[in-house]
Amino acid sequence: MFPMTPWTRRLLITNVVVFLVTGSYPALAEPFVLYPPRIWAQPWMIYTAFTYMFLHAGMGHLFGNMIGLFFFGPRLESRLGPKGFLLLYFLSGLGGAAFSLIFARQAAVVGASGAVYGILLGFAMYWPRERIYLWFVIPVEAWLIATLLVFFTLYAGMNPGGGSNIAHFAHLGGFVVAFAFLRWWDWRIGAAKRDFQKKMRVEAPPAGLMGDRAALARWKGIPVHGLHELNRGEVMRLVAKAERDGPARLTPPERDFLNRMSKG
């Protein structure tokens, strides 16, 4: 199993603590439930589109969401980083709230399901062939689970009979927003890589533009903390190489890259 990560742990703890507190004092939960008619009548209650994610209707509801976060969250957090992981989680939850406001206007909604469904979709997108054991027995690949859940939520949302209290449109909203966010996130990372590769392909500067000692001093002064993580890592690697082996051992594209970074 993948090691526990900081924000996954914090979200797990927060959800459990809120459940215990509101279970002991149910009246505390009421102002934080997402209830579309109340928001349409009192727009300032829109804050419940966020707070509803930390409320659960019972132990089974809490357990189902937290087990999904526990198993799928850490690996995804390690891939996306804290910022990307939290954006995915909360935007998916907000997507669930938005779909509930639009398509299920009479239903009160609580739970982290929209956010957790976004986490599940992210896991399936990055590791589609990973086997997940349903009921700890039946092996099913992640892509198939995500696909079946999408079709099930669509069907259940369009056919709400049977008295079910499940917020299917919140689940669907989590899926849709998670998919859009992850596509944008991958495009953003890809754009940074393309920019990095473009910088590495430019022609070398004219020989004698600056002495090696002056160049090394300038490169060491590059404000790496303000750079994108891809550029930051490459700058640190090349400066370490120049200090260890001498600036003359750098290739022309490597020198040009450092020169461009030093000019901001």
Per annotation, catalytic residue among 56, 92, 113, 168: 113
Query: What's the rounded Cα separation, in Å, for the pair 80 and 93?
Result: 17
Query: What's the rounded Cα separation, in Å, for the pair 78 and 238?
Result: 25
Query: What's the rounded Cα separation, in Å, for the pair 247 and 180?
Result: 44
Query: What's the rounded Cα separation, in Å, for the pair 207 and 219?
Result: 17
Of 252, 262, 247, residue with least CA distance to 201? 252
| DSSP reduced 3-state for 60 | helix
User: Is 158 buried (19+), middle (13-18) or exposed (0-12) by CB count in 10 A?
Assistant: exposed
Tokens of 175: 């899926």
User: Is 171 part of the annotated catalytic residue set?
Assistant: yes
Query: What's the rounded Cα separation, in Å, for the pair 114 and 95?
Result: 7
User: pLDDT tens-digit profile of 156-190?
Assistant: 555 555 444 566 778 889 999 999 999 999 888 77
Q: Which residues contact 6 (CB under 8 A, 6 or more apart)?
A: 77, 82
Backbone φ and ψ for 140, nearest 5 degrees, come out as -135, 135
For residue 114, how far is the Cα from the chain centroid?
Answer: 13
Query: What's the Cα-to-Cα distance from 185 to each of 63, 249, 250, rounded to whole Å?
Result: 29, 36, 33
pLDDT at position 178: 95
pLDDT at position 205: 47
Query: What's the rounded Cα separation, in Å, for the pair 32 and 36?
Result: 12
- What's this model's pTM, rounded to 2 decimal places? 0.69
The whole-number mean pLDDT for each consecutive block of 10 residues of the chain, a chain of 264 residues, reads 89 97 92 93 94 93 91 93 96 94 86 92 91 74 80 58 60 92 89 65 45 83 82 88 86 86 75
Tokens of 211: 């002495």
The secondary element (H helix, E strand) that includes residue 141 is strand 138-141
Task: Indicate left, alpha or beta for 81 from its phi (over 0: left) and psi (-120 to 50: alpha).
Answer: left
Residue that is written with structure tokens 């004219």 in the block: 206
Per annotation, catalytic residue among 56, 171, 225, 262: 171
Query: What's the rounded Cα separation, in Å, for the pair 127 and 113?
Result: 20
All domains in the chain, ordered by first residue:
6-189 (1.20.1540.10), 202-262 (no CATH)
User: Is 225 part of the annotated catalytic residue set?
Assistant: no
pLDDT at position 170: 85
